[in-house]
């Protein structure tokens, strides 16, 4: 075997990097021992890489098992970085509420650099004036309560498109691939608010390619990338993650650039008295607001946040809910009975009906609990050293809250592996709300870095899931004996095998054409 000059160079580089790292670790370890400060318990890990090899392909499950062994706050040495994981409501509250400001920033990572325009977006930006401006504009014009009310008709119109498409599938006796249908519909809802137009006129190759891009982004952004934890190895990209991210970024950037260019070109044709969200963002790029001005990169990065997180997280929750209901026909039957009593069968469900559908709301909460769209919250990092539950947390420690583990904590939930909406209909659980104040159920996170789309996510899940359940009877294709409920880990928790189901209309025919 012939060893090339490049391979020799590469081996030298790796050897030198590892030697420097080991010396650094030895010195830091000695300092830590002399410090006598009590870190949270956790696995010992390996030299150089620490606990990285322990994560496996399902880190949220691995970390849940560690919490069962070591306790609700687990400390891990991940390469050259410290990391703590909170896995029960009280520890999550300590970090995300009591110490919220100290953990208000995100650590730098390959996803933020290569996908999110080097943290120029709302998700990864440091807590500061630009982040506040992006958040303010998003809440005021798209994600806040008043803004959501203003675009309720868009949601209703787009649901009409989806229901009619599914009605056509039922006449052909063809299965509906739920994730494809949901991504198509939600992208069009969001597109109409941002761009004043549907992004995809017809469901097909283009919309499916977009769905695949979104899933790839949410998957790769959730990977434990070696370069994020051992910076001296980052440029080697040993897992090939960064190369994939850069390729995906070029695809999204081309799509977003085309959207913005077409939007600017069509400005004279649109109603200038009623600006859409992109009009507002473009206007903000030409004027200062509290000393902050948006750049074109900021605008692209924010649109990337809204189109990806806005479609993928909500669609995964709805898909999981339908899968659980297909596995338990009694839940589907009870939901139908409640809807028929409140709405009847002469019209479609409307958003105003949801407040009168407590069982539907309970189904949504139970899905948020058992199948949170984000199993591990986006990481945060400590600005200063602090104390939590008697443990010392060093400055620069990465924090991850295992939302998936909280939902399956047997000390919090009775029979946590059972999908049982009844748990939210009475007793103390009936008052639990998923908006970030009840730490038993925080599918969107909590604190000042809670998901900006929390309100929108809850509205979309309740309205779309309710409409799909009320409008159709659902059953599995004849060749599916046992529904696969395996998970696929990423920033968002996908079904490993996408749900495909047969639907049949259960309302008056006029409800599908109105």
Which amino acids are annotated as binding site for heme, given as ranges? 451
- Map residue 83 onto helix, strand or coil: strand
Exposed/middle/buried for 382, CB within 10 Å: 0-12, 13-18, 19+?
buried
- The CA-based dihedral angle spanning residues 34, 35, 41, 44, taken in that order and rounded to the nearest 10 degrees: -40
Asked whether the beta carbons of 39 and 5 are under 8 A apart, the reply is: no
Of the CA atoms within 13 Å of residue 361, those in its CB half-sphere come to 18
Instruction: Return all residues near 380 (Cβ < 8 A) that are at least 6 apart.
Output: 95, 103, 104, 105, 106, 107, 398, 399, 449
Asked whether the beta carbons of 27 and 55 are under 8 A apart, the reply is: no
List Cα–Cα distances, 428 to 48, 433, 434, 445, in angstroms.
Answer: 47, 11, 14, 21
Rounded CA gap, 104 and 449, in Å?
7
- Nearest CA among 436, 437, 455, 351 for reference residue 139: 455
Asked whether the beta carbons of 378 and 109 are under 8 A apart, the reply is: no
> CA angle, corner 73, sides to 71 and 75, nearest 5?
105
* DSSP code per residue over 336-400: HHHHHHHT-SSS---GGGGGG-HHHHHHHHHHHHHS-SSSBPPPEE-SS-EEETTEEE-TT-EEE
- Map residue 97 onto helix, strand or coil: helix
Instruction: Return all residues near 333 (Cβ < 8 A) that are at least 6 apart.
Output: none
Asked whether the beta carbons of 185 and 159 are under 8 A apart, the reply is: yes
Instruction: Give Dmax (Cα) for the chain.
Output: 77
Rounded CA gap, 281 and 73, in Å?
41
List Cα–Cα distances, 284 to 136, 142, 398, 501, in angstroms.
Answer: 12, 15, 33, 45
Rounded CA gap, 405 and 408, in Å?
5
Residue list, annotated binding site? 451
Rounded CA gap, 372 and 227, in Å?
27
Rounded CA gap, 338 and 355, in Å?
12
């Amino acid at each position: 075997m012939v060893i090339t000059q490049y391979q020799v160079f590469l081996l030298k580089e790796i050897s030198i990097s590892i030697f420097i790292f080991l010396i650094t670790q030895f010195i830091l370890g000695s300092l830590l021992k002399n410090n006598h400060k009590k870190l949270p318990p956790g696995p010992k890990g390996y030299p150089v890489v620490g606990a990285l090899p322990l994560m496996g392909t399902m880190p949220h499950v691995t970390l849940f098992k560690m919490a069962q062994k070591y306790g609700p706050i687990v400390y891990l040495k991940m390469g050259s970085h410290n990391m703590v994981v909170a896995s029960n409501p009280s520890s999550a509250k300590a970090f995300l509420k009591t110490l919220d400001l100290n953990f208000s920033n995100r650590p730098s990572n390959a996803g933020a650099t290569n996908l999110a325009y080097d943290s120029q977006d709302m998700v990864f930006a440091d807590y500061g004036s630009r982040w506040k401006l992006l958040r303010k504009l998003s809440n005021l014009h798209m994600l806040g309560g008043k803004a959501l009310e203003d675009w309720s008709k868009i949601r209703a119109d787009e649901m009409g498109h989806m229901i009619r498409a599914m009605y056509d599938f039922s006449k052909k006796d063809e299965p509906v691939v739920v994730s494809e249908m949901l991504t198509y519909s939600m992208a069009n809802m969001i597109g109409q608010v941002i761009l004043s137009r549907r992004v995809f006129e017809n469901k097909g190759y283009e919309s499916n390619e977009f769905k695949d891009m979104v899933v790839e982004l949410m998957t790769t952004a959730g990977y434990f990338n070696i370069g994020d934890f051992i910076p001296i190895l980052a440029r080697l990209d040993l897992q090939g993650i960064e190369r994939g991210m850069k390729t995906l970024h070029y695809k999204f950037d081309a799509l977003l650039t085309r959207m913005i260019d077409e939007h600017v070109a069509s400005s004279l044709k649109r109603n200038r008295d009623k600006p859409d969200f992109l009009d507002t963002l473009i206007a903000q790029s030409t004027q200062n607001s509290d000393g902050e001005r948006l750049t074109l990169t900021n605008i692209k990065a924010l649109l990337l946040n809204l189109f990806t997180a806005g479609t993928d997280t909500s669609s995964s929750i709805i898909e999981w809910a339908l899968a659980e209901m297909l596995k338990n026909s009694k839940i589907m039957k009870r939901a139908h009975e409640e809807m028929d009593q409140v709405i009847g069968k002469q019209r479609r469900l409307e958003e105003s009906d949801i407040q009168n559908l407590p069982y539907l709301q309970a189904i949504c909460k139970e899905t948020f609990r058992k199948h949170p769209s984000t199993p591990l919250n986006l990481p945060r990092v400590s600005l200063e050293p602090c104390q939590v539950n008697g443990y010392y947390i060093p400055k620069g420690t990465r924090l991850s809250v295992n939302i998936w583990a909280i939902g399956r904590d047997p000390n919090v939930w009775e029979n946590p592996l059972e999908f049982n909406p009844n748990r939210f209909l009475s007793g103390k659980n009936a008052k639990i709300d998923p908006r970030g104040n009840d730490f038993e159920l925080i599918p969107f996170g909590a604190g000042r870095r809670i998901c900006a789309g929390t309100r929108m996510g809850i509205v979309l899940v309740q309205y779309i899931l309710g409409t799909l359940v009320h409008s159709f009877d659902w059953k599995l294709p004849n060749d599916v004996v046992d529904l696969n409920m395996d998970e696929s880990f990423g920033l968002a928790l996908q079904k490993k095998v996408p749900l495909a189901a047969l639907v049949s209309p259960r309302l008056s025919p006029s409800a599908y054409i109105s």
